[in-house]
């Protein structure tokens, strides 16, 4: 008995010991595996949070200086900084170069910044003048950023612009259709001294810099374009008298009205000294009284118009005065674009503003042309004393000070409203429970006070806009609506959760307001200088003459061939002519034709008949004109801007030409990214050249992410474990990537190497598809969402976008300026530590040669010329100038792409993304693939298929179709050489 007990106790002790040992071991084991877990997951949590600081604006800083008692410097000598006497620099050493007898410092892209030190004798507010010579570069304005003593005085110093100057290279020509065609622009270069102003033209005087007595450092950092700098000066600001003072001067000097009228056409090449932007051009106006008359046929009879609308764009005219004396200046002008708002211009005579009132002179809006002299608000024409000889007259686009104030206020209102919206969203979520009392006025600190303040600000904005307008601008109504909504929300806070959509709407309205007030177009037909007291020639068209003009146009429409873009080269110089169809709007076609006539036909005698073709959309029974033309044997020789799968579809059927047959193909193909040619490869040949390319990048809101203390995700794991949870806690979301992106990043592909079967049956593809579906079903990504709107309100502070969406945010969301940035898309970390950031959809539109042509050599010459860097760049600049920044040309020619006016930092990232960008190959029967994937997604999301099942179904469909097509065309596995991945 004792033995048994003893044995039991021993057993118990052993078991206890074992258990204890086990517990200890387990702890150690847990610690060990926990460490491994930490190792694994710590990699997810690295990175610093996004930093965001907003710099104060010039208006704010200037008023703070004035309040502090700083005065404009007066009566002091200029502080001269010779450019060659720099104190420090970063990057490549800037060298000295002499141009036209003046020595200058060559400041090119390799030099990051240059610094100068200088001494200031007297404290005050100074202006900065730069003497520079525009050299080389890619035809864009020269931009530098400035810092004083290592600090940015105000946000506008981020981009200081030194413009280039342009003139028409030749006279205009009448083309074969009877229309007048403008000449190309060429740059004129000479040493220019310019006082530096803000880049948007919002402040009519050059920027002021606060300089205390003592030593200072000025740093100019490179932003864009090389330049020769001779010297930088800080000068006392030019004191401009008021008109009353000028008049007293006239009295004292005893000036008399002159004799003899000077009149000239605003578009007259003889009288234009230069323009500060190559895109400011003459245009055709159909008013019958415009000289020369341009009704039935197009005549470039007016200058500027909508192309002359952004701040600081200026035109300088020259004229000769026979007899000295007092003159008044009249313009026959038109401002029909901004309804109700006036367009402002700064008027300078001989480079200087004669009096204060001309710093910003208002040209009111009117539905017709009007002839008015420069006059004071009472209607008395201003008088200018002009001595005998040649003078210049400069008109420069400025934004009225009222509008500028309204603009600045609107920015703060948008900021305030967005923030309020996000705070409310954090509490109510985007779909608030309609039956719950949120008591937002209590849960969001000072919400009602904020709204009240915002409503008052908006009232002030409306008042400012009214002051700047000639009549009730329609934009004021929109502002009043926003103000009304805010006041209603203050009165009845319970209504706020139901009004979330209205708040989003208000943000859009305000955002649009910002875009709208930045344009200030004005068209001028003629300028006349008349001795004061004299009569101006007024050419007002009557209703009848306008009706007659319309009838003339209508009659002409029966004779004119509008599809045919007219030739300007006479037929004698042309040896061969090729037919080119372009699938874009007429603006693009006209610019192309202009280039063709001067640079292509003019140089090698190959004529081009350019026709505009509607893009081949197939929805609801519209006609595919290209296909039908080929069927009927009337196909063109070259087709431009066709969709990306067309070349191979045509190649399969022998209709498009293999470009590798040309001996210099290899060289030409180097102009493009290797991967952008993938969709054009078939059976060993390449059947098109890419015209445009696309890119995928990640956009993020700096201000929101820094508020949330989030770093930028580099991998998808970081997105899922780090970014998404924080976003969801704050009721925000992220936009989903495409399936393509996940597929390629996970190492999958659509087709096998030979392009005969789908490669979606591989494990990588299954994994990618499952991941893709789980984005929506498990991770809460919205299936459809308008990224543009949600990025603006901040509901989606981060997302992956393509070129189109990027341009949208860039050009149509001005209130976000400075608040967002670009980054490479998140990727998948591979075993060797690198991150695979593959994206697809690289190739945009294509250019092909149809095999029906009998002029293959000429067609190839044309394609080579069209895709060359020089022509692509010129085309891109002109398109952007004519249509606006939203039409930025995403050329497939990489050299040209980089030379277009992208933001340099964004451009660097975009070019980085090209390392990973690729395109899906086109295979025989490939039309089915997108469809099958879309159906599979549909099945998995709505019809309760598991992702595996859905993908299996898609694989079967795709393979069946591919086989069928291969059967139809008798393709054997050994013959086909696909494009690979």
- Residues in the site for another protein, rule: CB under 8 A? 430-431, 434-435, 498, 501, 504, 618-621, 624, 627, 630-631, 649-650, 653-655, 782-786, 789, 925, 927, 931, 934-935, 938-939, 941-943, 968
Closer of 403 and 813 to another protein (Cβ): 813
Closer of 649 and 847 to another protein (Cβ): 649
* Interaxial angle between packed helices 803-812 and 500-516, expressed in degrees from 0 to 180 and rounded to the nearest 10: 80
Question: Least distance in Å: CB of 835 to another protein?
Answer: 31
What are the tokens at 814?
């001005």
Tell me which residue of 278, 265, 267 sits closest to 171, measured CA to CA. 267
- How far apart, in whole angstroms, are the C-alpha atoms of residue 254 and residue 256? 6
How many CB atoms neighbour CB 375 within 10 A?
Answer: 15
- How far apart, in whole angstroms, are the C-alpha atoms of residue 724 and residue 728? 6
Closer of 604 and 789 to another protein (Cβ): 789
Close Cβ partners of 561 (under 8 Å, ≥ 6 residues apart): 177
In eight-state DSSP terms, residue 632 is: T
Closer of 432 and 747 to another protein (Cβ): 432
How many CB atoms neighbour CB 960 within 10 A?
Answer: 13
Question: Least distance in Å: CB of 631 to another protein?
Answer: 5
- How far apart, in whole angstroms, are the C-alpha atoms of residue 801 and residue 737? 8
Question: Least distance in Å: CB of 962 to another protein?
Answer: 12
What are the tokens at 425?
């969203």
Closer of 624 and 683 to another protein (Cβ): 624
Closer of 405 and 929 to another protein (Cβ): 929
Range 406-409 contact pairs with CB under 8 angstroms and sequence separation of 24 or more: 406/460, 406/461, 406/464, 406/465, 406/468, 406/517, 407/202, 407/514, 407/517, 407/518, 408/57, 408/59, 408/60, 409/457, 409/460, 409/461, 409/464
- How far apart, in whole angstroms, are the C-alpha atoms of residue 334 and residue 523? 5
Closer of 533 and 780 to another protein (Cβ): 780
**Backbone angles phi and psi of 82, in degrees to 5:** -65, 135
How many CB atoms neighbour CB 522 within 10 A?
Answer: 25
Burial per residue of 416-426, b for 16 or more beta-carbon CB atoms within 10 angstroms, e otherwise: ebbebbbbbbe
Closer of 242 and 943 to another protein (Cβ): 943
Tell me which residue of 741, 733, 739 sits closest to 695, measured CA to CA. 741
Cis amide leading into 292 (omega within 30): yes
Question: Least distance in Å: CB of 505 to another protein?
Answer: 10
Question: Least distance in Å: CB of 698 to another protein?
Answer: 21
How many CB atoms neighbour CB 204 within 10 A?
Answer: 22
Question: Least distance in Å: CB of 459 to another protein?
Answer: 28
- How far apart, in whole angstroms, are the C-alpha atoms of residue 805 and residue 583? 21
Closer of 180 and 649 to another protein (Cβ): 649
* Interaxial angle between packed helices 856-866 and 869-883, expressed in degrees from 0 to 180 and rounded to the nearest 10: 60
What are the tokens at 115?
């610094």
Range 437-440 contact pairs with CB under 8 angstroms and sequence separation of 24 or more: 437/494, 438/496, 438/497, 439/493, 440/493, 440/496, 440/497
Closer of 655 and 849 to another protein (Cβ): 655
Closer of 544 and 942 to another protein (Cβ): 942
- How far apart, in whole angstroms, are the C-alpha atoms of residue 358 and residue 41? 65
Closer of 653 and 948 to another protein (Cβ): 653
Question: Least distance in Å: CB of 972 to another protein?
Answer: 18
Beta bridge partners of 174: 180
- How far apart, in whole angstroms, are the C-alpha atoms of residue 246 and residue 356? 10
Question: Least distance in Å: CB of 502 to another protein?
Answer: 11
Close Cβ partners of 711 (under 8 Å, ≥ 6 residues apart): 46, 47, 48, 49, 50, 722
- How far apart, in whole angstroms, are the C-alpha atoms of residue 754 and residue 971? 11
Question: Least distance in Å: CB of 362 to another protein?
Answer: 38
Please give the C-alpha separations between residue 213 and each of 126, 147, 470, 492, 931, in angstroms, as whole numbers: 12, 17, 45, 56, 72
Question: Least distance in Å: CB of 626 to another protein?
Answer: 11
Closer of 61 and 504 to another protein (Cβ): 504
Closer of 248 and 938 to another protein (Cβ): 938
Question: Least distance in Å: CB of 968 to another protein?
Answer: 7
**Backbone angles phi and psi of 550, in degrees to 5:** -60, -40
Question: Least distance in Å: CB of 945 to another protein?
Answer: 10
**Cβ distance 574 to 605 under 8 Å?**
yes
Question: Least distance in Å: CB of 48 to another protein?
Answer: 33
Three-state DSSP at 356 gives helix
Question: Least distance in Å: CB of 597 to another protein?
Answer: 33
Closer of 435 and 572 to another protein (Cβ): 435
Question: Least distance in Å: CB of 783 to another protein?
Answer: 6
Question: Least distance in Å: CB of 414 to another protein?
Answer: 19
Give the start-end residues of each E strand in 803-888.
820-823, 828-829, 835-836, 846-849
Closer of 69 and 434 to another protein (Cβ): 434
Closer of 424 and 591 to another protein (Cβ): 424
* Interaxial angle between packed helices 474-491 and 500-516, expressed in degrees from 0 to 180 and rounded to the nearest 10: 150
Closer of 248 and 930 to another protein (Cβ): 930
Question: Least distance in Å: CB of 643 to another protein?
Answer: 12
Question: Least distance in Å: CB of 445 to another protein?
Answer: 27
- How far apart, in whole angstroms, are the C-alpha atoms of residue 925 and residue 959? 9
């Amino acid at each position: 008995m004792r033995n048994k007990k003893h044995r039991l106790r021993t057993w118990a002790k052993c078991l206890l010991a074992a258990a204890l040992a086990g517990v200890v071991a387990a702890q150690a084991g847990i610690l060990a595996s926990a460490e491994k877990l930490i190792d694994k997951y710590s990699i997810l949590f690295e990175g610093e949070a996004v930093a965001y600081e907003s710099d104060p604006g010039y208006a704010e800083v200037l008023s703070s200086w004035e309040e502090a008692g700083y005065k404009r410097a007066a009566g002091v000598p200029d502080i001269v900084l010779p450019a060659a006497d720099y104190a420090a620099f970063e990057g490549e050493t800037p060298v000295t170069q002499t141009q036209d007898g003046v020595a200058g410092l060559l400041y090119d892209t390799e030099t990051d910044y240059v610094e100068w030190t200088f001494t200031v004798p007297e404290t005050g507010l100074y202006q900065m003048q730069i003497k520079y010579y525009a050299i080389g570069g890619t035809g864009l304005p020269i931009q530098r950023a400035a810092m004083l003593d290592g600090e940015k005085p105000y946000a506008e110093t981020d981009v200081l612009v030194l413009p280039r100057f342009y003139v028409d290279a030749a006279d205009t020509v009448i083309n074969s259709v009877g229309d007048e065609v403008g000449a190309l622009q060429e740059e004129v270069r000479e040493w220019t001294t310019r006082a530096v102003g803000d880049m948007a033209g919002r402040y009519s005087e050059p920027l002021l810099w606060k300089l205390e007595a003592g030593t200072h450092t000025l740093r100019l950092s490179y932003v864009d374009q090389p330049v020769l700098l001779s010297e930088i000066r800080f000068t006392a600001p030019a004191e401009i008298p008021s008109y009353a003072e000028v008049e007293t001067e006239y009295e004292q000097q005893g000036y008399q009205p002159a004799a003899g009228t000077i009149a000239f056409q605003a578009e007259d090449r003889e009288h234009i000294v230069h323009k500060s932007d190559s895109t400011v051009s003459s245009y055709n106006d159909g008013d019958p009284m415009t000289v020369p008359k341009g009704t039935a046929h197009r005549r470039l009879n007016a200058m500027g118009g909508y192309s002359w609308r952004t701040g600081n764009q200026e035109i300088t005219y020259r004229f000769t005065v026979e007899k000295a004396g007092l003159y008044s200046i009249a313009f026959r002008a038109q401002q029909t674009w901004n309804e109700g708002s006036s367009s402002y211009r700064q008027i300078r005579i001989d480079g200087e503003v004669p009096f204060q009132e001309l710093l910003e002179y208002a040209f009111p809006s009117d539905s017709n042309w009007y002839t008015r002299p420069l006059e004071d608000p009472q209607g008395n024409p201003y008088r200018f004393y002009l001595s005998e000889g040649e003078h210049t007259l400069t008109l420069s686009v400025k934004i009225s000070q009222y509008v500028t104030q309204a603009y600045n206020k609107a920015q703060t209102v948008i900021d305030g409203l967005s923030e309020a919206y996000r705070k409310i969203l954090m509490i109510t979520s985007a779909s608030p429970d309609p039956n719950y009392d949120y008591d937002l006025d209590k849960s969001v600190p000072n919400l009602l006070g904020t709204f009240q303040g915002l409503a008052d600000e908006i009232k002030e904005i409306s008042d400012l806009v009214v002051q700047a307008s000639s009549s009730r601008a329609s934009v004021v109504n929109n502002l009043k609506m926003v103000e009304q909504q805010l006041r209603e929300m203050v009165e009845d806070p319970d209504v706020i959760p139901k009004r979330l959509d209205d708040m989003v709407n208000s943000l859009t309205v305000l955002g649009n307001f910002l875009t709208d007030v930045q344009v200030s177009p004005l068209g001028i037909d003629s300028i006349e200088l008349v001795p004061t007291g004299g009569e101006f020639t007024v050419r007002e068209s009557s209703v009848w003459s306008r009706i007659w003009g319309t009838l003339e146009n209508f009659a002409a429409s029966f004779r004119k061939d509008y599809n045919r873009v007219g030739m300007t080269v006479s037929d004698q110089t042309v040896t061969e002519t090729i037919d080119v169809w372009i699938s874009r709007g007429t603006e693009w076609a006209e610019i192309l034709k202009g280039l063709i006539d001067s640079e292509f036909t003019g140089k090698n005698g190959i004529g081009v008949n350019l026709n505009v073709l509607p893009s081949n959309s197939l929805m609801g029974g519209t006609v595919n004109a290209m296909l039908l033309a080929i069927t009927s044997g009337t196909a063109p020789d070259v087709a431009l801007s066709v969709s990306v799968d067309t070349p191979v579809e045509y190649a399969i059927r022998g209709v498009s030409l293999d470009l590798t047959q040309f001996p210099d193909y290899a060289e030409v193909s180097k102009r493009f990214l290797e991967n952008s040619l993938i969709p054009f490869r078939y059976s060993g040949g390449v059947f098109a050249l890419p015209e445009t390319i696309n890119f995928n990048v990640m956009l993020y809101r700096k201000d929101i992410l820094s508020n949330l203390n989030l770093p930028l995700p580099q991998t998808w794991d970081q997105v899922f474990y780090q970014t998404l949870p924080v976003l969801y806690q704050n009721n925000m979301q992220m936009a989903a990537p495409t399936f393509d992106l996940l597929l390629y990043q996970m190492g999958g592909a659509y087709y096998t190497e030979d392009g005969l079967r789908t490669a979606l049956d591989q494990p990588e593809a299954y994994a990618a598809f499952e991941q893709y579906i789980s984005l929506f079903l498990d991770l809460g990504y919205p299936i459809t969402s308008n990224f543009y709107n949600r990025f603006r309100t901040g509901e989606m502070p981060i997302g992956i976008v393509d070129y189109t969406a990027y341009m949208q945010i860039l050009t149509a969301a001005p209130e976000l300026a400075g608040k967002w940035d670009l980054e490479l898309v998140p990727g998948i970390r591979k075993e060797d530590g690198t991150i695979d950031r593959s994206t697809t959809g690289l190739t945009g539109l294509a250019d092909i040669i149809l095999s029906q042509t009998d002029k293959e050599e000429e067609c190839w010459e044309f394609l080579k010329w069209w895709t060359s860097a020089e022509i692509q760049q010129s085309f891109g600049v002109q398109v952007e100038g004519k249509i606006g920044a939203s039409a930025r040309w995403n050329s497939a020619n990489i050299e040209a792409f980089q030379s277009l006016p992208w933001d340099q930092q964004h451009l660097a990232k975009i070019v980085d993304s090209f390392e990973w960008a690729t395109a899906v190959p086109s295979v025989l029967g490939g039309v089915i693939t997108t469809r099958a994937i879309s159906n599979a997604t549909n099945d998995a999301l709505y019809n309760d298929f598991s992702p595996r099942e859905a993908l299996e179904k898609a694989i079967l469909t795709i393979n069946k179709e591919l086989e069928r097509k291969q059967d139809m065309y008798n393709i054997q596995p050994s013959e086909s050489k696909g494009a690979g991945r």
